[in-house]
A and B are shown apart, each in its own frame.
Chain A
Amino acid sequence: MNAMFTTAQWLALSPILIVSATIVGAMIAVAFRRHHWWNATLVAVGLNLALLAATWLVLPLLVDGLPVAWQAPLHALLGPSPLPQFVTPLLVIDSYAAFYMGLVLAAALATATLSYAYMEGHKGNQEEVYLLLALSTLGGLVVVCSRHFAAFFIGLELLSIPLYGMVGYLVRERRSLEASVKYLVLSAVASAFILFGMALIYSQTGTLLFAEIGARAAAVAGAGQTILLVGGGLLLAGIAFKLSLAPFHLWTPDVYEGAPAPVTAYLATASKTAVFALLLRYYVEARGYDHRALIDVLSAIAILSIVIGNVLALLQDNLKRLLAYSSIAHFGYVLVAFIAAGPLAVEAVGVYLLTYVVTTLAAFGVVTMMSSPYRDHDADTLWDYRGLFWRRPYLTAILTVALLSLAGIPLTAGFIGKFYAVAAGVDKNLWLLLAVLVLGSAIGLYYYLRAMVQLYLRAPWVRRYAAPLNWARGTGGIMLLALMLLMLWLGVYPTPFIAVVQAAVLGGQ
């Protein structure tokens, strides 16, 4: 075994290895003795270590952005970055992969924290959720560094299958089960589309490596090109499902609503981010941008997603469903940046996803904190949030900033992301898409503000309600406050984050 990999490769693989070790450790721990706090902490520590490892990988690349005086000693301290590393034909770990690994791991960590607060009130087995979370995270890590259809597909499934278990985690809840079965069936259909598409592409190019596909696709003759395109189209349809892009979006609100709130947070952030990162890498390396027809299809999907997502959210009275619809629209926006192509587009996608993850985690985090004390189902109707300001001012502040950020108000994170998407679009003169983006944002403002107003209305029956502040809610609360500060920080002083995103370049060929 040892002979297969060099030290640098082991190093580059370290986040994946650490998460795998965590999974094994957690499983043994659960088998040995069930203890909520211990298991949660074990997984959280593992994810933290993996996050540190991912950060460590890119750190040397960030030194050049620092003041000149610091550069030499830091370079001496850190040594050269081991990136990019090609590990077997399946994986490449470049700074792009490391950045998205960090994002996925951070989202998973936030989910773990929220889950702990949430599961305290759960009367079944509480421990498996961390195991499933770690497994799904492992899938996310594989997805963002895959450069081969095998890794693409197995990573995607490893990302999804634990999610079936997480979505249906509250097995006594009909809504949770319903969401799980919907997600399972539809996700499997999407997987079948992806697999069939891959098979068609493979049948014409004879390779499963992204870069090789790009190189050989041009040489495929006549009718073979059409098969390639059909394969690409099927692949795209499956991926569009995972990203809940229209018209493959119908599952999104149902699953978001039925799943436990922390799982929804994970589903909306880590899972989608990883898949989008994969899609971008695939399109760049396999030269998907060369196929005009695929880009046109993507444009149509983007327009449809923005319009449908925003329209469906318009009069929605359920906060989880509202956020689901808004996420459909948001992935439409980021698709605009995606379609623009080029280095600025890669940067714009990175910035957008970063701001989106932070904001969405905060929003669903508030839903989680509101929900955990209830036993029956999550606090998700807007009515539950009416007059929240008078009961829970801090949660209200966090949710307010999150909604403003989702709406893209300046000085919040969302504005920076949207600004980048627009800048990327302007750069390539995508006027139609930009017009739809602006229109969609205008509609979006309406429902975000509509939800926000509810927070400050005085409910006729002010429920004097305050949850007991124990350690679990404490960590969740601190994490949410940190997210709020991060949203503001990103909005006011995004430069360091942008520097990180700029360092995340695709290095695999």
Chain B
Amino acid sequence: MYDLLYLVFAFPLAGFLVLAFARGRVGERLAAAIGVGSVGLSALLTAALAGQFLSHPPAGGAYTQTLWHWMSAGAFDVRFALRLDGLSLSMMGVITGVGFLIHLFAAWYMRGDEGYARFFSYMNLFVASMLFLVLGDSLLFLYLGWEGVGLCSYLLIGFWYKDPANGAAARKAFVVTRVGDTLFAIGLFLLFHSLGTLDIQQALSLAPQQFAPGSPTVTLITLLLLGGAVGKSAQLPLQTWLPDAMAGPTPVSALIHAATMVTAGVYLVARTHTLYELAPFSLHLVGGVGAVTLLLAGFSALVQTDIKRVLAYSTMSQIGYMFLAEGAGAFQPAIFHLMTHAFFKALLFLAAGAVILACHHEQDIFKMGGLRKKLPLAYACFLVGGGALAAFPYLTAGFYSKDEILWQAYASGHIGLFWAGLFGAFLTSIYTFRLIFIVFHGEYRGHGEVHAGHGLAYGLPLVVLLILSTFVGGMIHQPLSGVLPANPAEEGGALQQQVAALSGAVAIAGIALAGALFLGERRFVARLAQSAPGRWLSRWWFAAFGFDWLYDRLFVRPFLYVTRVNAADVFDLAVAGIATGLRALYRGSVRSENGRLRWYAASMAAGAVLVIAAVIYL
């Protein structure tokens, strides 16, 4: 059974190849069948593997499948190997399960688009790369998958490439994450330099012998890896690309920019947790980055008017929770939240996609309103998904994971992180229900008839994700105990009950406040927004604290300035000089090829004379 592991990513890869080589000559039905079917097969296989893993766990809690030795010349040996353990199984479940549902939804969502087959080929390539990322046994292959998902993200953000704004958004995402990737790559080199291996398990077992806790090298390595992680996961200070990434089709936002790729940073930190445990400073920084990001993103989400941007900021904020949990040493709750978040955020994005299509590609929430009767399924999805996002107590999946994070932060003594998380939860419930109340309550303010979607491809993914976003999803147990360190704090006890009650109360209070502010007439909000500090704050938050502005001033403009000033500088001259020199060398040497037989013979004779002279006199 386990030896079928490679098929999990082989199916989507095959789907990609078939669709890519068909070059758009397949019809929609066939493209959907291939694109959705391949991921569906992966999901089925993952389910079977999970069953096997839980009933008959492999020896040592992990199964390694060596696909092949790439090459071994001298001491250098590289192998392609996949590793199935609790962590990669959990990730695989999310990627293939949620991925399949989103593919299915996309089959409905993308109908009529001229790039239908192209869309599914990219999506399949993405799923294959993402699986490669989580299954790769070596950091080298993790990096390969890492770049692969980055490429797919770029291709899919700019999927509607005819609008230059989409291209710009894609480029921005690519460039910003590239900054992180570069740091990541340097970190890998450094790791290889100090441990002599990129094999993950080997590196993790060697690290404690090689590095003293808190040593500068391991701190530097973990910081560089963190650079990659914050880039991919849109955390401070490389978070600015994610809201713009919403330019892609909505299923892309659901799959890549909510459920899977953006959580790769969380996965990376969890995978290399041994290194972070050796570098307490880096681990603290992970928590700090998460806490600050979740607050900033929460404030920004409060004032957004684009339905997808609200969700994008909420994604940043939720990933902030995962980083926060990892910073507190609670790796298992982080991965747990990763999963529940994938369920409810995918649900919210798909439902948002349904709303957007129903309103004729309208994304401004203030041009919607009163949709609860016209789109009852989308409304239900938003209620449950939003409840889970706001961690509505006991009924939703989000509550279980977020409460676990808060409890671990509190109990392990990270009081600052705890309060930040708690306040963030309050913000979350406000902006989430602000969104729901504005979109689904009140009067319809849009143009044109609202028409709900229908069909299996439309309904099934929503319903399944809806169920998973309730407490059902919270009941799923992930087999992480062998892979990730135990939680820092004990479970149970009265104290945990109190923390749970507190966080539940905060969530409900936030919902209530949102109801008071945004249900019915919004006079108070309007007055608040009109006031001078209110205007200033909302503008500031709307622009996500002006990071784009800041980066534009700090990096982009100076860089452009420097390039302009330096258009003909010494470096340029040196580079141009090499080119000119080579050209001159070419012109000089090409004269030797004058086509004359006697000259050629003479060159041979001269060569022979030189060779003989060399062997005589050397």
Binding site for B on A (CB under 8 A): 181-182, 185-186, 189-190, 193, 226, 229-230, 232-234, 236-237, 240-241, 247-248, 250-251, 253-254, 291-294, 296-297, 300, 308, 311-312, 314-315, 344, 348, 416, 419-420, 423, 426-427, 443, 492-495, 498
Contact = CB atoms under 8 A, between A and B. Distances in A.
B597 A293 contact: no
B560 interface: no
B48 interface: no
A247 B612 contact: no
B618 interface: yes
Contact of B600 (A186, A315, A344): A186
Contacts of B586: 311-312, 314-315
Interface string B576-618: 0000001101100110110101011101111110111011101
A296 B618 contact: yes
A431 B334 CA distance: 49
B70 interface: yes
Given A234-B608, A312-B589, A423-B76, A251 B615 contact: no
A494 B618 contact: no
A250 B71 contact: no
Interface string B59-98: 0000000001111111010000000000000000000000
A495 B589 contact: no
Contacts of A498: 71-72
B71 A294 contact: no
Contact of A232 (B582, B603, B615): B615
* 7 closest Cβ pairs, A-B complex: A423-B73, A229-B615, A247-B607, A237-B608, A233-B611, A250-B600, A233-B615
A311 B601 contact: no
13 contacts: A190-B604, A193-B608, A230-B616, A233-B611, A236-B611, A240-B607, A247-B604, A248-B607, A250-B592, A250-B593, A250-B604, A427-B74, A498-B72
The B interface, classified by DSSP as helix, strand, loop or mixed, is helix
A186 B614 contact: no
A419 B71 contact: yes
Nearest to A422: B73
A293 B615 contact: yes
Interface residues of B, number: 34
Nearest to B76: A423
Given A423-B74, A498-B71, A248 B614 contact: no
A54 to B, nearest CB: 25
Contact of A233 (B589, B600, B612): B612
Given A190-B604, A233-B615, A291-B615, 9 more contacts: A181-B597, A230-B615, A234-B612, A247-B610, A250-B603, A292-B618, A312-B590, A315-B583, A443-B582
A494 B69 CA distance: 8
Contact of A494 (B71, B592, B603): B71
Contacts of B610: 247
Contact of B582 (A253, A314, A494): A314
A443 B611 CA distance: 27
B585 A311 contact: yes
A344 B74 contact: yes
A311 B69 CA distance: 36
A187 to B, nearest CB: 10
Interface in B176-235: none
Given A314-B582, A419-B71, A254 B589 contact: no
B149 to A, nearest CB: 18
Contacts of B71: 416, 419, 494-495, 498
Nearest to A304: B607
Contacts of B603: 247-248, 250
A233 B313 CA distance: 74
Given A311-B589, A423-B73, A294 B615 contact: yes
A287 B177 CA distance: 56
A185 B610 CA distance: 21
B607 A296 contact: no
Contacts of B615: 226, 229-230, 232-233, 291, 293-294, 297
Contacts of A233: 608, 611-612, 614-615
A216 B74 CA distance: 33
B523 to A, nearest CB: 61
Nearest to B604: A248
Contacts of B600: 182, 186, 250-251, 254
Nearest to A228: B615
- Which interface residue of B71, B585, B610 has the most chain A CB atoms within 10 A? B71
A186 B242 CA distance: 66
A248 B76 CA distance: 36
A166 to B, nearest CB: 19
B589 to A, nearest CB: 5
A155 B68 CA distance: 40
B616 A229 contact: yes
A182 B604 CA distance: 13
A250 B589 CA distance: 11
Contacts of A229: 615-616
Contacts of A292: 618
A500 to B, nearest CB: 14
A467 to B, nearest CB: 20
A229 B618 CA distance: 11
A300 B610 CA distance: 11
B82 to A, nearest CB: 15
Nearest to A253: B593
A423 B72 CA distance: 10
A141 to B, nearest CB: 27
